[in-house]
Structure 1
Amino acid sequence: MRRMKAIATGALLFMAVVFALATWGEHAGAGAWTSYVAAAAEAGMVGALADWFAVTALFRHPLGLPIPHTAIIPTKKNQLGRSLGDFVGENFLAADVVRSRLKAVGIGQRLGAWLAEPAHADRVTAELATALRGTLTVLRDSDVQAVVGEAITRRAHAQEVAPGLGTMLEKVVADGGHRRVVDLVCVRAADWLDEHRDAVMDAVAGGAPGWTPRFVDRKVGERVYRELLRFVTEMRDMPDHPARGAVDRFLTDFAAELRSDPATRGRVERLKNDLLDRPEVQDLIASAWGAVRAMLVAAAEDEHSQLRRRAREALLSLGRRMSEDDRLQGKVDGWAEGAAGYLVTTYRDEITSLITETVASWDAEHTSRKIEAHIGRDLQFIRINGTVVGALAGLAIHTVARLSGA
């Protein structure tokens, strides 16, 4: 810019020197041609001075004189900022303009083709894993545990579980799913009785009256033990044992009561609430977040984890569908256009005010110098062009005047 300023000023000085020499030559009788040169140089000086004044008036007062309508940028900076903000808001942040532009871009098809590339899917997966790790790191475990615990407890208190348990139990009994549990109980009971024969007989004998003879108590204990063992063994080995049928009927009746009996449902709800309020249960609910967090962090850090592999496969599949499915592309384009339209409609004033306030916060003199540094070089061409055009115009006018006078 300094070089162009020097050239433009040099052109002005050159015209002044030419004018002085041509005028001297004209008075010295050098010939008629000197008048043409003087006229051209004079008009060139006028053009150069006029354009110097115009260019200078944009950034400062020419010669420091407070001439009206000069130093336009420093004095009109805030107004220019408001005008720039309004211009951007009306011409770039209009909903129809943004929608038409996004529609022409074809976001859905381009995004699908981009995601369908394995390298791009890997990159997105890695970025998502990084974001997940960062989020889990920022979150305080105590805060999340409190929120999770409260949410689970509140939901569990509000949800009645008895009807659901009754429906589930009824289906389990109908499918025979409970029989394995009965088999296990019978096997364990038979094994326990076989291992604790003396303990059972001692317990029976210990409950007998003190006046009965000990051999009688022993006989009674042995009889009770044999009957218990026979009952459990038969129930274990006979799928159609009457006791098994009694268990089926009991569970069926209990399932019906869970679904329809108010008293049973009330007892189940009270039991549920008592369990939820126990400190051990609350600690278990709160500690669940720690386990989930550790699992997610480990999966996010491991490039070969199921989480990252499935995320990558899902991205590739989504990319292929988006690049081939016109309906899906239309949906994505519609979502993007709707989101962009909502943003520019809702927050246009905030965006334009950012421009206005930013320009208003700039120092006037610094702003003027900064703008001049960016566009001043081109403005100096105006001065040079003014000098050249002025000289040519002056020459043409002088020529026409001489010819008219002749």
Structure 2
Amino acid sequence: MKRSHGQESAAAGDGANAADGVMPAVPGGLTYSAADAEKQRGVRRMKALATGLLLAVAAVYTLATWARTTGWGGGWAGFVAAAAEAGMVGALADWFAVTALFRRPMGLPIPHTAIIPTKKDQLGQNLGDFVGENFLSGVVVRQRLRSVGIGSRLGTWLSRPEHADRVTDELATALRGALTVLRDADVQAVVGEAITRRADAAEIAPGIGTMLERIVADGGHHKVVDLVCVRAHDWLVTHSDSVMAAVAGGAPGWTPRFVDRKVGERVYKELLRFVTEMRDMPDHPARGAVDRFLADFAHDLTSDDDTRARVERLKSEVLGRGEVQDIIASAWSSVRAMIVAAAEDERSELRTRTRASILSLGDRMTGDERLRRKVDGWLEDAAVYVVTTYRDEITALITDTVAGWDAEHTSRKIEAHIGRDLQFIRINGTVVGALAGLVIYTVSWLSGA
């Protein structure tokens, strides 16, 4: 029969794939590998052997029956004929049973035949239920993990420097990948909203007041006052003309100019003297006034409702400004760039500390029995939660996959894997049937004797 050009091309492609060791896919997602093809050839060889044995027994039966009928073989012909007859019966019965698993014998619509093609979905469901009940139960999973001793093995593995380096590299790669996938706009929006919401929800005045009280009590603000005095003195020295001009410019218009200059010079000198004394005298009265002001302000921040309300209003106004929101949002970009750079640099503090932590964890898990039990318990609890929560989804993978397979090709696939052993059943049936027939005939013959 001639094949179309498409069929010839498909056949050529199938041959090429088989030559490469990968057989083409079949309907339902099944594939046939070179190993499957070799198993199929093994099944055919065993079929030929079992069928040849059946034909041999049939030939022996024919010859033995002829010999017994003609009286040529004597008494032994009956024994041989009985054994051969029972062997044929056993061979045919086992042929029918094996064939009925995969197809209808001789194409006849006999009930309860072609079991695998017709019961494929039910077999898949039963297989899924079997796996769920016997492999995905919490007790089985927990016992299996406990017998493995993951904590001890993991600790030994992590305590080796080359493994710690590998884990560090993988973590760095995963971190870079995660930061690359995240969209800056989304993260910035989340960070900005989180910071703003947290700041709005928390009252900052009492905390600032408490901190200011401690600073004043410890004299921590003195350096700030010193710095302000030094800067103020230097500014006055540098901008003396501007200060005197400002004072003179604020004088009434009817005063003479030389009087305005004299007043400006006098004000400037007094101001410079005051700042200089405050800079050089730690016990200057003005410094004491600053101390008292800061102490009173700290007290008001913690106990005065009006002051606290003003601080909260100021906080809300500051957070609401666009410039502040831009600073909060842009913080993510800086943090991400810093983390990515640290993850890429093998000598960075991040990777160095990560590697040291992994080695330390491995050593602790190796020598600390209590820690190992904790790790084993965490892993067992996590695994039990997964298998008990998603058992139906896991078993559905089996049942749905089997349900999607093509019935005919599923039967061929299974036959390729177990058909050789099933052909041995035919051979054994022939031999056992012959022996049973011989025994029965012998017992009958003895009883008749």
1:101 matched to 2:163: no
CA–CA separation in structure 2 for the residues paired with 1:404 and 1:302: 95
Matched, 1:308 2:351: yes
Residue 345 (structure 1) shift: 2.1
What secondary structure, in the 3-state scheme, does the structure 2 residue paired with 1:21 have? Answer: helix
1:180 CA displacement: 0.9
Query: What SS does the corresponding residue of 1:210 show, helix, strand or coil?
Result: coil
Letter in 2 for 1:42: E
**In 2, distance between residues paired with 1:239 and 1:153?**
41
The farther-off stretch of 132-141 and 389-398 is: 389-398
Is 1:245 aligned with 2:288? Answer: yes
Partner Cα distance (1:278, 1:94) in 2: 57
Which residue is equivalent to 2:425?
382
Which shows bigger deviation, 102-111 or 1-10? 102-111
SS, match of residue 264 in structure 2: helix
Alignment of 1:28-177 (within 5 A): 28=70, 29-177=72-220
Partner residue, 1:405: 448
Residue in structure 2 matching 1:8, options 50, 53, 60: 50
SS in 1 for 2:112: coil
1:231 match: 274
Partner secondary structure for residue 323 of structure 1: helix
Q: Deviations over 1:285-334 (max 9, x none)?
A: 11011111111111111122111111111111111111111111111111
More off after superposition, 35-44 vs 214-223: 35-44
The CA deviation at 1:400 is 2.5
Which residue number in structure 1 is paired with residue 8 of structure 2? Answer: none
In 2, Cα distance between equivalents of 1:11 and 1:171: 103
Structure 2 distance, partners of 1:241, 1:59, is: 107
**Equivalences, count:** 406
Q: Quick one: percent identity of the two aligned structures?
A: 77
Gaps of 5+ in 1: none
How far apart are the structure 2 equivalents of 1:55 and 1:125?
56
Q: What does residue range 336-351 of structure 1 map to in structure 2 within 5 Å?
A: 336-351=379-394
What's the CA shift string for 1:218-240, capped at 9, x where partnerless?
A: 11111111111111111111111
Query: SS in structure 2 opposite 1:371?
Result: helix
Cα distance, 1:378 vs structure 2: 0.9
Cα RMSD between the aligned structures?
A: 1.3
CA distance in 2, matches of 1:175, 1:384: 100
TM-fit CA distance, 1:337: 1.7
CA shift digits 1:344-374 (9 cap, x unpaired) = 2222222223222222222222211111111
